[in-house]
A and B are shown apart, each in its own frame.
Chain A
Amino acid sequence: MKENVKKGLITTLTLGAIVLGAGAIIGVTSAITSPFVYAHSLAGRLEAVNGVFPNAEDVSEPEEINSNGLVERYEVSAGGELIGWAYSGSQKSQTDTVDVMVGINADFTLERVEITSSSTNSAYMDAARDWLAGVNNGTTSYDDIPVGAGGTKTKQTISILVQAAIDHAKANAGGDAVSAELRLVRNVFPDATESDQGTAVELSGGTPQANYWELTKRYEVGENGETVGYAYEGSINPMSQQGSFVVGIKADGTFSRIYAVTLSLDDHDGLYNPSWIPGTYIPEINSGTRNPDDCIGGEATITAETINAMIEAAEADVLSLGGSSGEAA
């Protein structure tokens, strides 16, 4: 017994002393190297956003987004003040996957857009680059896409990413003073100024198969005291596909926008294109170029139908409320 206690004590003291020594050595090394590591890391981040914010002096660590084509967000500062956000985004277009860096100013206007890479250098891409030069020098608006000038789909893809970046910046700006509810609803009502705490709802089922979707919470959304619509928290799980969303319905019961909070889609052994939902269907229904019920013949019909069923249920719920209450909470 005494021997065991002695052994245990020796073990603890020996290992304790070695660990303390190790900690001291690592601590000193870390203190010496951390300024250099930070400088390298900052240089890398400055290089990443240099194309859209050439005057940036400090760039935050990237925040992961992975939604609506946006991948990461950097907070960009100069002279000690926030000057905007740089968003990296990636979206499949007609034939190309376009990777962009979008610079959004602190007043939520577009600073610059840069194509960081593309899977091919097609004529579409060249046309998009020419159009982008106009967007960047201020002669063309990012949502002004001339028909028949070539590269329409690629330009639309970039335009959707820019809009998504602006919406995300608006939704996530304001610091801690903005409530979590308001941050959430701004994903579908970017200009919202008020939101209530949310009311639990139980809406589920719908087509094509029962219990493939459900809506769990409804928020009344206001802009400057006026109710502009409702935001719903919902989720889908058709055929092992999973996603959680915020669905925005205007006060008159029509669809506003949908925002994918999380998406976990697989390709069902090649039968299904998992990028079609976040890459085409959602951006197109959000931009108004596709009606939410126009999902037959797409590359992920059942998932799109489920999303549409969820949207229709939210629309019906808003209509059942009897229209807008006129004043947001």
Chain B
Amino acid sequence: MDNAIAKPSKKEAFLAPLLKANPLFVLVLGTCPALAVTTTLEQAIGMGILFTVVLALSNVIISALRKFIPEYVRIPSYIVIIATFVTVVKLLAEAFLPELYSSLGVFLSLITVNCIVLGRAEAFAQDNPVLPSLLDGLGNGLGYTIAICIIALFREILGAGTLSFGKTFTFIPQVTIPLLKGDTWDYSMPLLQQPTGAFLVLGIVIALIAVIVNFRAKQAKIKKEEVKE
């Protein structure tokens, strides 16, 4: 079959999802958990790590089995593979990171139906070898992690007024840094801890990224025209 789309390099497969093709900020995929698990930075880091593990492992297995899975059963097969890794990650989190497991709740199971995971399986892993698929999974997972961490950072600092560590990852000492909220003063905006606040932060960040991307594109165009002249 003549494939018109050029296959990305390994470097591109890993780096593009970090910013240029960020699954959350640019492609606006996986917004539901991104809004739900971003009330604290620790929670977002935890979700990001688990998500990356599921995405990378699913991509690897789907890529390895791509020649054995018939076209007409690929979607149910992918879902079973993804659900398996989600279950494995869930069991591991419940055993070794119980606080993270409780705080993520149903959103951990919902990774199974996250459109980024199935999307990367369909768009990349089923057509590419194992190593690029692994890098694509890691890149997208990392891009998603960075995105939800940015949202969480805004929401925790501005919404709760503090930055806390050690509550979800109990193996590190508990520290709460009072940034906008102290014993006698409070400049936090609790709205940002609510779902509404999550939408606002996501919208603002997407807008900022669009501004930066457009500005850079414009600059590049001007440079190109200058060179031509």
Interface residues of A (CB under 8 A from B): 7, 10-11, 14-15, 18-19, 21-22, 25-26, 29-30, 32-34, 36-37, 40
Report yes or no: A26 in contact with B88, Cβ–Cβ below 8 A: yes
B171 within 8 Å of A (CB atoms): no
B68 within 8 Å of A (CB atoms): yes
B205 within 8 Å of A (CB atoms): no
B73: nearest residue on chain A (CB-CB)? A11
B84: nearest residue on chain A (CB-CB)? A22
Report yes or no: A29 in contact with B91, Cβ–Cβ below 8 A: yes
B96 within 8 Å of A (CB atoms): yes
**Which 4 residue pairs of A and B lie closest in terms of their CB atoms, listed nearest first?**
A33-B95, A36-B95, A22-B84, A33-B91
CA distance A7 to B76 in the complex (A): 15
Report yes or no: A30 in contact with B80, Cβ–Cβ below 8 A: no
CA distance A33 to B95 in the complex (A): 6
Instruction: Name B80's contact: one of A15, A32, A33 (CB within 8 Å).
Output: A15
B87: nearest residue on chain A (CB-CB)? A26
Contacting residues of chain B (61-91) with chain A, CB-CB under 8 angstroms:
65, 68-70, 72-73, 76-77, 80-81, 83-84, 87-88, 91
Contacts of A14 in B (CB 8 A): 68-70, 73, 77
Report yes or no: B83 in contact with A22, Cβ–Cβ below 8 A: yes
Contacts of A34 in B (CB 8 A): 95
Known interface pairs A7-B72, A10-B70, A11-B73; A19-B80 also in contact (CB < 8 Å): yes
User: Can you list 18 contacts pairing A with B, beta carbon distance less than 8 Å?
Assistant: A7-B72, A10-B70, A14-B70, A15-B76, A15-B77, A15-B80, A18-B65, A18-B77, A22-B84, A25-B84, A29-B92, A33-B91, A33-B95, A34-B95, A37-B91, A37-B95, A40-B95, A40-B98
Q: How far is the CB of B46 from chain A (nearest CB, A)?
A: 16
Interface residues of B (CB under 8 A from A): 65, 68-70, 72-73, 76-77, 80-81, 83-84, 87-88, 91-92, 94-96, 98
Q: How far is the CB of B87 from chain A (nearest CB, A)?
A: 5
Known interface pairs A14-B68, A33-B92, A37-B94; A22-B73 also in contact (CB < 8 Å): no
Contacts of B81 in A (CB 8 A): 18, 22
Instruction: Name B96's contact: one of A15, A25, A30, A36 (CB within 8 Å).
Output: A36
Contacts of B98 in A (CB 8 A): 40
Q: How far is the CB of B111 from chain A (nearest CB, A)?
A: 15
Contacts of A19 in B (CB 8 A): 80
Q: How far is the CB of A13 from chain B (nearest CB, A)?
A: 10
Q: Which DSSP category, helix, strand, loop or mixed, fits chain A's interface? A: helix
Q: Which DSSP category, helix, strand, loop or mixed, fits chain B's interface? A: helix
Q: A11-B73, A18-B77, A34-B95 are in contact. List 4 more A-B contacts (CB 8 A).
A: A18-B81, A33-B94, A33-B96, A40-B94
Report yes or no: B95 in contact with A22, Cβ–Cβ below 8 A: no
A7: nearest residue on chain B (CB-CB)? B72
Known interface pairs A37-B94, A40-B95; A11-B88 also in contact (CB < 8 Å): no
CA distance A314 to B55 in the complex (A): 65
Report yes or no: A11 in contact with B70, Cβ–Cβ below 8 A: yes
CA distance A15 to B72 in the complex (A): 11
Q: How far is the CB of B67 from chain A (nearest CB, A)?
A: 12
Contacts of B70 in A (CB 8 A): 7, 10-11, 14
Contacts of A32 in B (CB 8 A): 95
Q: How far is the CB of B72 from chain A (nearest CB, A)?
A: 7
Contacts of B84 in A (CB 8 A): 21-22, 25-26
CA distance A26 to B92 in the complex (A): 11
CA distance A19 to B87 in the complex (A): 13
CA distance A19 to B80 in the complex (A): 7
CA distance A144 to B84 in the complex (A): 58
CA distance A215 to B88 in the complex (A): 52
Report yes or no: B91 in contact with A11, Cβ–Cβ below 8 A: no
Contacts of A37 in B (CB 8 A): 91, 94-95
CA distance A19 to B91 in the complex (A): 18
Report yes or no: B91 in contact with A30, Cβ–Cβ below 8 A: yes
Q: How far is the CB of A47 from chain B (nearest CB, A)?
A: 13
B69: nearest residue on chain A (CB-CB)? A14
Report yes or no: B72 in contact with A29, Cβ–Cβ below 8 A: no
CA distance A26 to B94 in the complex (A): 14
A12: nearest residue on chain B (CB-CB)? B73
A19: nearest residue on chain B (CB-CB)? B80
CA distance A18 to B98 in the complex (A): 29
Q: How far is the CB of A94 from chain B (nearest CB, A)?
A: 32
Instruction: Name A26's contact: one of B65, B72, B91 (CB within 8 Å).
Output: B91
